[in-house]
Structures are given as structure tokens and as C-alpha cells.
Amino acid sequence: MAEKYDAIVVGAGPAGIFASLEMCLAGLNVLLLDKGKEIDKRVCPLQKKGDRCRLCRPCHLVSGFGGAGAFSDGKLTLSPRVGGHLEELIGFKQSELLIDYVDKIYLDFGAPHRVYGEAENLEEQEGRARAVGLKLNPSRLRHMGSDVGRQVLSRMREHLGSRIKIVLEQTVKDLVVKDGAIAAVMTEDGERLACEHLILAPGREGSEWLTEQSRQLQLEVKSNPVDIGVRVEIPMEIMEEFTSTLYEPKLEYFSRSFDDRVRTFCVCPGGEVIMESTGGADPVITTNGFSYSEPKTRNTNFALLVSTSFTEPFRDSIAYGKSLARLANLLGGGVLVQRFGDLMKGHRSTQARLRNNPMKPSLEAATPGDLSFALPFRYLQGIIEMIYALDGLMPGVALPSTLLYGAEVKFYSSRLKLSRCMETGVKNMFAAGDGAGVSRGLVQASASGVLAGREVLRRMGKGSSTPGY
């Protein structure tokens, strides 16, 4: 008779890894599956400077052991209010405790000890931000950098290797439910893998697949909005006062023209701008950013994202975000880059203008062009207003030489209805991480994996929580 696993985990990103870490010492028969490659075999062709995104399937940046975490900037945000919806599911206090637990595991596997966001002059900085129409939301944060983040994940891979079964380059295609409970998963190769419990952690990369599976199983799914904007690149010195104490200054602005929320996101001091392919089976190329712990560039990049609510009866915000990214792809063959000065003068950037620009683009593969052909007025207006507001706090952000890359689109997965222990409407089938719409970052993705793993242990009579992992 075919083997039946106590638990199968789909997706070896932070959510799947932390669920597995939680279960691995209890003697359970656990299988962790991922469609991407081993962490040390994940090489993005774009790491060769100047190359264009080749739309690899699956994308090395977001698939394989470590998930999107393996190429992330490795910021561990230590607040329940940032990076997900855990607080709504388990309350603020429990989320805090869980985040603390997850943080300790990252530390045990080699995350650096320094915590940002605890400086004494925070109130003074908040006040100065208020004076120029910005709201500064400080939060505690640890920064691993892309390099240390990968080392941490590689150590977790080693730790799990002898304790559970890990199979990579295996895509899960379908879910088999019997009498309202999970029974098995079907792989793309047609293999049926039976299990008592299933933890689905497919990340943003697998979110469309998960939504489709949920629809087939008639599970309740809520749409999430999409945030649209650009990635800004400036000399490091301009933001240094804030990045040296907060690492990531989270600033918020409400546009005068439309009252839309515009915010900084994923600030990468000393980092590089990158392209990523996103959107599952029908991908688009968008921008993102990352940095190493060492060496650093002399630039800082960050996203400026605009959040809007759409007019009725429109609902498909993911399709909308994709079509805007596709416009930028159509115009630039990938990502567009434009000097802020060119945007304000109403003309495109060219190779010649970029050559003379004091700010050199870290993403050499970006095509000089005109973002106003790709982004609707409402988004551009919000971004321009916020750049001027930022300039009031950090003089230099609105220099003509500032670089804007587009489009940056943050797709948030549809949210599956889950219980406090991450169980879906199917018995013994759990969902965790970004793919289920629970999280939007490493820490909350990991924490939701812990919750699901703990519940599997409890149901297998192995206690509600394991000490250690």
C-alpha cells in the first residue's frame, strides 16, 4: 500500500519551513514539497548585469527552498501591525508572543542581533515628518540582508534534511478531499500522495493556484487590493539620518488630489533595484529591491506605493495591476526607468540623459522611457506629491537626478477564510503565509506556519506546542 504521510507541506518558503521546523522533532512522517530548486541551485539569470528577465518557469527568485525569502532583503519586522493579518486571527498579544518566538528561531539560525527602530530621537523625527504632511510609523526591525538571509535558510534546510522528507522540483496540481477532509494531493507528474494533514504555503507565487483550488472546493475567499507605484533610487546620504536608526522609515502620505494613501515600502539602504516576474501562470515583470549585509552600494532604493479603492462593480484588482505592469513591459521590454526631472518636464529619459545623470541606475537592464505612458494620472500624481513631501523631510529626494523605476505592483493574495489555527473549511487542511493572504512578509509568514504546525502536532497527540524545533 502507498505511504500515507502524517503531514504534507506544500511550499518551502518561510511559512512551510517554520511549519516543518515545528513538526520535525515530534517523530511525524512529514513531506515538504516545492516546485522550485534547492536553495544553492537557485540562480537568477538577471544576476548577470544588464540581462533581461527571461521569465523562467518557475522563477528562481521566488521559487525553491526558501521561497521568496531566499532572495528577499531579509528584513524581519517585529511588529504584529506590519506584514500581515495575524492580529485579526489571534489577537495582538498572542501575535506578539508568536513573533517573539519566530524571531528567536531566526536568531538561533544566525540572524544578526541588532534591532533597529528603538532610537531615542524617534519622537523628534515623527514631529518633523508631521510638519511636512507625512506620518512616520516606526517599527522594530532586524536586518539580515539577502546574503545572511540565505545562510539562515540554508541552515534551516540542513536542520530539516535529516528529520523530514524534502522533495524539490515537484509541483502540486490538485487537492483530493474525501468526506469533507483532506485525503491526498496530486502532483503534476500524476502521483497521488496521501496525507492525514495538509499545510498549504504556496506564497504569492502560488496564490492564484490556491485561489482556484479554493473556488473548486467552494471555500470562502476574499479579494485583497493591489498597490501600484514605482521604485525610487537616490544617493544613500539623502535618507541616511533615518535609515541608520530605523533601517526602514515607514512614511505615509494622503494625496491632496485624490486622498489616496501613498507610502514608502521595502526601503533598501545600500541596496540594488531588481526585476522580478510575478503573477503565476501569466507573469508580468515588475520592480523590487534588495541589499546585502555587505558589500553595500552607495544608493538607497524604496517603493512608493499608492493604495486606491476601485469603483463598483469592478473587482479584479490583480488583473488591473497586471495590465498596468504589462503596459510598462510593453513600452520597455521589462522595467522602465525615468529621471524625476524628465518626468516633471514631460519628456522621456534616454540613454544619453542617463549617462549624464549623477545617479547611476543599479538596475542596468531597465529601459529609459516615460512612466506617464504606463501609470494612470491618479497614481503618478500621488507619487509626485509624496516625492515633494519627502523632499521636505530629506532634502534631495526631489532632485531631477532621482530615478524612478516602474512599475512596482504589490499583488496581495486573496484571503482564505481560516480558523485561529489556520484551518480552512476542509478538515485537516491548513493554509499559511502570503499565499493564503495571511501575511505579507517573512515574520508573519513564518508565524502562521508555526500555528499550523502546532495544530497538526496537537491533533497527532504530540502536544500543542513543541519547545524548540
Which residues would be at the binding site for ligand FAD (CB under 6 A)?
10-16, 33-36, 58, 61-64, 67-69, 71-75, 77, 83, 171-172, 201-206, 209, 266, 276, 288, 290, 433-435, 439-442, 445
To ligand FAD, the closest distance from the beta carbon of 149 in angstroms equals 8
Alpha-carbon distance of 50 to 28, in angstroms, equals 47
How many other C-beta atoms lie within 10 A of the C-beta of residue 87? 16
Three cell numbers, residue 421:
489555527
Using the minimum distance from each CB to ligand FAD, give the nearer residue, 174 or 391: 174
Please check whether residue 447 is in contact with residue 98, taking contact to mean a CB–CB distance below 8 angstroms.
yes
Instruction: Give yes or no for a contact between 227 and 409, defined as CB atoms under 8 angstroms apart.
Output: yes
Amino acid at 31: L
CB of 178 to ligand FAD, least distance (A): 20
Nearer to ligand FAD, 381 or 413 (CB): 413
Rounded least distance, CB 373 to ligand FAD, Å? 25
CB closer to ligand FAD, 106 vs 340:
106
- Supply the minimum distance, in Å, between the C-beta of residue 29 and ligand FAD: 19
Report DSSP letters for 351-376, one per residue: HHHHHH-SSPPS-TTPEE--GGGTS-
Type and span of the H or E element at 290: strand 284-290
Dist. CA 205–CA 48, nearest whole Å: 23
Assigned C-alpha cell, 432: 499559511
Question: How many beta carbons lie within 10 A of that of residue 320, not counting itself?
Answer: 17
- Report yes or no: 182 and 197 within 8 Å, Cβ to Cβ: yes
Whether 201 contacts 447, CB under 8 Å: no
Tell me whether residue 273 or residue 386 sits nearer to ligand FAD (CB atom).
273
User: Smaller CB distance to ligand FAD: residue 83 or 138?
Assistant: 83
CB of 360 to ligand FAD, least distance (A): 21
Give whichever of 260 and 408 is closer to ligand FAD, judged by the CB atom: 408
Provide the 10 A C-beta neighbour count for residue 428: 20
Query: Where on the phi/psi map is residue 259: left (φ > 0), alpha (ψ -120 to 50), or beta?
Result: left
Give 132 or 194: the residue with its C-beta nearer to ligand FAD. 194
In whole angstroms, how close is the CB of 152 to ligand FAD at the nearest point? 12
- Nearest to ligand FAD of 18, 340 (CB atom): 18
Burial code (b: 16+ CB inside 10 Å, e: under 16) for 241-273 equals ebbebbbbbbbebbbeebebbbbbbbbbbbbbb
CB of 191 to ligand FAD, least distance (A): 12
Cβ of residue 162: shortest distance to ligand FAD, in angstroms? 21
Sign of CA pseudo-dihedral 85, 87, 89, 95: positive
Q: Considering beta carbons, is residue 190 or 313 the nearer one to ligand FAD?
A: 190
Shortest Cβ distance from residue 246 to ligand FAD (Å)?
14
Task: List the beta bridge partners of residue 166.
Answer: 32
Cis peptide before 112 (omega within 30 of 0): no
Which of 61, 17, 47 lies closest to 278 in space, CA to CA? 61
* Least CB distance to ligand FAD at residue 237 (A): 22
For residue 287, give Cα distances in angstroms to 28, 243, 408: 40, 21, 5
- Considering the complex, state which of residue 379 and residue 412 has its C-beta at the smaller distance from ligand FAD: 412
Specify burial of residue 162 (Cβ count, 10 A radius: 0-12, 13-18, 19+).
exposed
Tell me the closest approach of the beta carbon of residue 288 to ligand FAD, in angstroms. Answer: 4
Q: Do 338 and 368 form a contact (C-beta atoms < 8 A)?
A: yes
Task: Report the residue number, 142 or 339, with the smaller CB distance to ligand FAD.
Answer: 142
Ramachandran angles phi, psi of 229, nearest 5°: -175, -145
